[in-house]
């Protein structure tokens, strides 16, 4: 369904571009250039020539397919792009403190936070 609607949307888009490029501009008459335009309300072609009606219909179909595709994409997707963003957590570095060598025990890693308060003057780290 989505693929068919997307194909129809692209076809209508290309058709709309073609129809708009085929239209005759309002001020494109040579008589309008020199001030000789007619005084009628809609000009000589009537209120809406056939090409204008086709353009209006293509624009309506284009808007309907755009809204439908947007609605279908929101209904299908329940995830957000912001879920992949991970909150920054404080980095803890590990310092190895070896135990007595006669015990033959592996060193123990003690986590140390970089943002820790400095030790008092009499204390050692």
What does the pLDDT look like over 32-82, one tens digit per residue?
556 555 555 555 555 568 888 999 999 999 999 999 999 998 877 666 777
44 in a domain, yes or no? yes
101 in a domain, yes or no? no
Cβ atoms of 5 and 62 within 8 Å: the answer is: no
Q: What is the pLDDT of residues 105-119, one digit of tens each?
A: 566 666 666 665 555
70 in a domain, yes or no? yes
Q: Domain range spanning residue 37? A: 2-78
Q: Which distant-in-sequence residues (6+ apart) come within 8 Å of 24 by Cβ?
A: 51
Helices (H), 2-124: 2-22, 30-33, 50-76
102 in a domain, yes or no? no
Domain count across the chain: 1
41 in a domain, yes or no? yes
Q: How far apart are CA 16 and CA 62, in angstroms?
A: 8
49 in a domain, yes or no? yes
The answer to pTM > 0.85 is no
105 in a domain, yes or no? no
pLDDT at 33: 58
92 in a domain, yes or no? no
């Amino acid at each position: 369904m989505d693929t068919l609607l997307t194909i129809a949307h692209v076809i209508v888009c290309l058709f709309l571009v073609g129809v708009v490029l085929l239209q005759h501009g309002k001020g494109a008459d040579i008589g309008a250039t020199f001030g000789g335009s007619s005084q009628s309300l809609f000009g000589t072609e009537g209120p809406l020539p056939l090409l204008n009606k086709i353009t209006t219909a293509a624009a309506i179909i284009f808007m309907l397919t755009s809204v439908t595709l947007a609605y279908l994409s929101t209904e299908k997707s329940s995830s957000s792009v912001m879920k992949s963003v991970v909150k920054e957590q404080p980095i803890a570095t590990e310092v190895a403190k070896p135990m007595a060598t006669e015990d033959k025990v592996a060193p123990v890693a003690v986590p140390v936070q970089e943002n820790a308060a400095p030790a008092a003057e009499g204390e050692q780290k």
